[in-house]
Amino acid sequence: MAGGARELAGYLAALAGWVAALAAAVLPQWRQSSYAGDAIITAVGLHEGLWMSCAAQSTGQVQCRLHDSLLSLEVHIQTSRALMVISLLLGFFGIIVSVVGMKCTKVGEEDPVTKSRIAVAGGVLFVLSGLCTLAAVSLYATQVTYEFFRESTIPINARYEFGSALFVGWGAASLSMLGGSLLCCSCPAKEHRGQQYHRPSQPSTAREYV
């Protein structure tokens, strides 16, 4: 029961991490206008993400526009895009594989050893998904930090800083890696030990009747 509860907790954590990674990939708040400084230069708040950029007016009106060209984007945006897509694909396959391998499900193989190995494979996919999400978010955050602190003629309150999507991405990476690690703890060695323990008991009972 403890192993099944651990697998279920790991699966739910990894699933929540995948949903959060999907939300982070879609959100346009990967970087936003900085309000550091003494005065606010503009009443328009700018947000940029992997797929679109948005402008929020002080009246509450928001206008978004998709990025026009893929080849004209900066390298860190293209790299973060690719990593997030790979992360979502790995997480999607991890969801399917983990459902087959968990002890609390009756899908696929009935052999507990085989199911444990499948659950470990699903956990590995979730860990890789979390690493891709972590790499994408950290790369983007590094570029935002570099552009914020580099010497430039742009006023500090007209630059960009971290958006909320970056924090969602870091949380998603943590949940995915945590859930994948719990699923990887489904070691099939326990079943082998149990079989080896019961086998010697058969000859001993036969000797008593002789």
Q: Which residues have a Cβ under 8 Å from the Cβ of 58 and sit 6 or more positions away?
A: 43, 44
Q: Could you give the CA distance from residue 101 to residue 113 in angstroms, rounded to a whole number?
A: 10
Higher-confidence position of 26 and 59: 26
pLDDT of residue 103: 78
* Mean pLDDT to the nearest integer, 70-94: 90
Q: Could you give the CA distance from residue 82 to residue 109 in angstroms, rounded to a whole number?
A: 34
Share of the chain above pLDDT 90, in %: 37
Do the beta carbons of residue 135 and residue 75 sit within 8 Å? Answer: no
pTM: 0.79
Higher-confidence position of 44 and 172: 172
Which residue reads 């403890």 in tokens? 2
* Structural domain spans, the chain: 1-27+69-185
Q: Could you give the CA distance from residue 191 to residue 188 in angstroms, rounded to a whole number?
A: 6
* Mean pLDDT to the nearest integer, 111-139: 91
**SS3 assignment, position 57:** coil
Query: 1-27+69-185 maps to which CATH number?
Result: 1.20.140.150
Q: In what order do the strands lie in the sheet with 62-66?
A: 62-66, 52-56, 45-48, 31-33, 160-162
Q: How far is CA 138 from CA 42, 113, 167, 186, in A?
A: 28, 37, 10, 30
* Mean pLDDT to the nearest integer, 132-140: 95
